[in-house]
Amino acid sequence: MAKIGILGAGSWGTALSLLLSENGHEVTVWSIQKEEVEMLSSKREHLSKLPGVKLPDSICFTGDIASAVVGKDICILAVPSIATRSTAAAMREYVKDGQILVNVAKGIEENTLMTLTEQIEEEIPYANVAVLSGPSHAEEVGRRLPTTCVVGAREKATAEYIQSLFMSKVFRVYTSPDITGIEVGGALKNVIALAAGIADGLGYGDNTKAALITRGITEIARLGVKMGGHLETFAGLTGIGDLIVTCASVHSRNRRAGVLIGEGKSMEEAMKEVKMIVEGVYSTKAAVQLAKKYDVSLPIIEQVNAVLFAGKNPGKAVEDLMMRDGRAESSALPWEQ
């Protein structure tokens, strides 16, 4: 049995608390919101974000961040991506040298262009930072539906230890040394999911969705490899796998926000209606800046950025994508003549 602290009591943090508790671990969950702690402690259920998923009495909920960090074998950061840095800073004084911190959020910081693990490492340089990611909607994990993820770490032993904590008959975990690839795939798939949702909102069909997913993973991999990730990662669970589920699922907040934008709502109106953090909105600006930094072409992501922040008509964005100059699908394939 391990002692595990989870920072963040949203849908993902709550679902993981159930999974880890059922795996026999001692779990403490921290939330910055007093009302959320009181609700989870008394109702044993997250009524707004994970309704119907009952939580055992063995899970402890607290508003004291030290209680979720001190003495824990690992700590899991499950806060929204925009709160990752501030949460890491708040827990810094309680983290011991070499303590394992696992990021499970997805995003890139707009002003620094740093991944979430890079932010955590900057705030707590003496921690052992890892990432867990993949096609894993909290709603399905909470219902104990079979799910598969990848844990990335700098040391194989760390990855295998985290793998052993999470593995169960409904949650399979693979290991990888490619933290950068995992993080880039997890962040940028949300941007493509916004595009997929916009296409749905415009009334487009399966052909359009397939094109966005396929060309989307090409853009993600193109940038990710330039940033130091490995091509194999983008062909795996945290690349194409996570992209498929986020572009197609009814649980995807990014796709849902995109649908609303495609139907005519502004980005602000869509985010307000979704009532959850739409990570792709924040990652879009960062992705466009990264494209300039690494001199990479990201046509879909650039059009999403124009729709979100420049008021471009979504239908015109699709038209501009379709009418770009013709080119080969893969420049790496040679012609015989």
Q: Taking Cα atoms as reference points, which of 180, 165, 174, 170 lies closest to residue 73? A: 165
CATH class of the region 180-322:
mainly alpha
The one-digit pLDDT tens for each residue of the chain (337 residues) are 999 999 999 999 999 999 999 999 999 999 999 999 999 999 999 999 999 999 999 999 999 999 999 999 999 999 999 999 999 999 999 999 999 999 999 999 989 999 999 999 999 999 999 999 999 999 999 999 999 999 999 999 999 999 999 999 999 999 999 999 999 999 999 999 999 999 999 999 999 999 999 999 999 999 999 999 999 999 999 999 999 999 998 888 899 999 999 999 988 888 888 877 788 888 999 999 999 999 999 999 999 999 999 999 999 999 999 998 898 888 889 998 8
Burial grade of 120 (CB within 10 A; 0-12, 13-18, 19 or more):
buried
For the annotated catalytic residues, the residue numbers are 189
CA distances from 298 to 115, 142, 188, 282 (A): 18, 35, 11, 16
Q: Taking Cα atoms as reference points, which of 264, 307, 266 lies closest to residue 285? A: 307
- CA dihedral sign of residues 262, 263, 268, 271: negative
pLDDT of residue 154: 96
Every domain of the chain and the residues it spans: 3-177, 180-322
In a 3-state reduction of DSSP, which class is residue 280? helix
CATH class of the region 3-177:
alpha beta
pLDDT of residue 24: 98
Q: Where are the beta strands (DSSP E) in the chain?
A: 3-7, 26-30, 60-62, 74-77, 100-103, 128-133, 147-152, 171-176
d(CA 82, CA 59): 26
pLDDT of residue 47: 95
pLDDT of residue 133: 98
CA 37 to mean position of chain CA atoms = 23
Joined tokens for residue 12: 């993902």
- CA dihedral sign of residues 101, 103, 109, 112: positive
∠ CA 8-139-217, nearest 5°, is 90
Helices 179-201, 253-262: axis angle to 10 degrees equals 30
